[in-house]
Amino acid sequence: MIFKETELVGAFIIDVEPHADDRGFFARAFCQKEFEEHGLKAEIAQANIAFNRFKGTLRGMHFQYPPKAETKLVRCTRGAIVDIIVDLRPESETFLEHVSVELTADNHRALFVPERFAHGYQVLEDDTETSYQVGEFYAPETEGGLRHDDPRLGLQWPLPVTEMSEKDEKWETLDVCESEVRQRMTL
């Protein structure tokens, strides 16, 4: 695997190193030892799949507060998405900054999302499937979220939003929730 750290410390784009022959290729998509060598939490508590019927669908911006903060390893296994993560670590020099990465079934790329980051994505093709390996069990009592269109975040989605859950539509802007996010995300 090829690990490339983003501008947000601890967040990595991970590309596979395919070993090709006449059949196609074989590549490692996860290795606990390699993740640990890059200082990444290599625990997987849950593996999830999200299927999205229509391009333009938006999921996010989701996170869990400590002590149940999650790491995520996100990969698009069918279709394509633009994945955006936001640094919610108050002590970080990049607090509230974001990174956007295109993940497709064809590029086989993954994004490692550290703990205390918000995560969301928009679907670029109909019938897209995304897989997540998550480092903590889902805990609804520690769930949080941010508005996908909060002007303070300045997130750029490539398509008009066509589908979104009612819950995601109701997340608050930073002007309303920033003090709670700062307090609950401080270690």
Intra-chain end-to-end CA distance of the chain, in Å: 31
Q: Which of 86, 112, 114 is nearest to 99 (CA)?
A: 86
Please tell me what DSSP assigns to residue 55: T
Q: Which of 65, 121, 132, 148 is catalytic?
A: 132
**Does residue 142 contact residue 68 with C-beta atoms inside 8 Å?**
yes
Q: Which of 62, 98, 119, 148 is catalytic?
A: 62
CA angle 131, 64, 152 (to 5 degrees): 95
Q: Is 62 a catalytic site residue?
A: yes
132 catalytically annotated: yes
Q: How far apart are CA 155 and CA 89, in angstroms?
A: 18
Strand partners of residue 73: 112, 133
Active site residue ranges: 62, 132
